[in-house]
Amino acid sequence: MQLIYLNNKANHKFFVFDKIEAGISFLGWEIKSIRGKKFNLNNTYVTIKYNEAWLLGAKFIPINTTNKLKKRKNIKKLLMKSKEISYIKSYIKIKRYSCVPLKFYWKKHLIKCEIALVKGKNLIDKREIEKKRDKNKLFLTFDINNKFD
């Protein structure tokens, strides 16, 4: 598994509840731009319409050999089983969760996307997590320093 993109902000902004792997349908020039690292996947999210999952906000910059007159869409279809789509749809509609891509990676010759059901964090939650992280760092450095005395 070769990592293409990792959404670091997702763990900072959201509580991650469940992760699901999905395939993505791309055009040929989009694959070439991904190989050339000419893409922007910030602020992407997943919606479900007509019992199909869609990735919105993904931007791919065409390479020099492509036809520039083509209309570039920021919408990509996610390839998932119908049970997975209905599972995500129920969490989005009933429990008011959001669906965000966490990472994109190569799996053999295919590009896969790991999407997650998430709930937003408050500012207070973010501060509490930072305090816990700082305490753990302090505790670990204290143990390491006393170990060698």
Domain extent listing, the chain: 2-121
What's residue 83's pLDDT?
Answer: 94
Rounded to the nearest angstrom, the gap between the alpha carbon of residue 64 and the centroid of all alpha carbons in its chain is 28
- H helices present in 14-122, as ranges: 28-35, 82-93
Which among 20, 26, 16 is positioned nearest to 98, based on CA atoms?
Answer: 16
What's residue 23's pLDDT?
Answer: 93
Which among 24, 85, 25 is positioned nearest to 52, based on CA atoms?
Answer: 85
Q: Which two tokens stand for residue 103?
A: 């990472």
Cα atoms in the 13 Å half-sphere on the side-chain side of 139: 6
Order the strands of the 52-56 sheet from edge to edge: 2-6, 98-107, 110-120, 14-24, 75-79, 52-56, 45-49
What's residue 137's pLDDT?
Answer: 78
In words, the CATH class of domain 2-121 is mainly beta
Q: Which two tokens stand for residue 24?
A: 């993505």
pLDDT digits (tens, 9 = 90+) for 70-100: 666 788 899 999 999 999 999 888 888 889 9
What's residue 100's pLDDT?
Answer: 92
What's residue 105's pLDDT?
Answer: 92
Residue spans of the chain under pLDDT 50: none
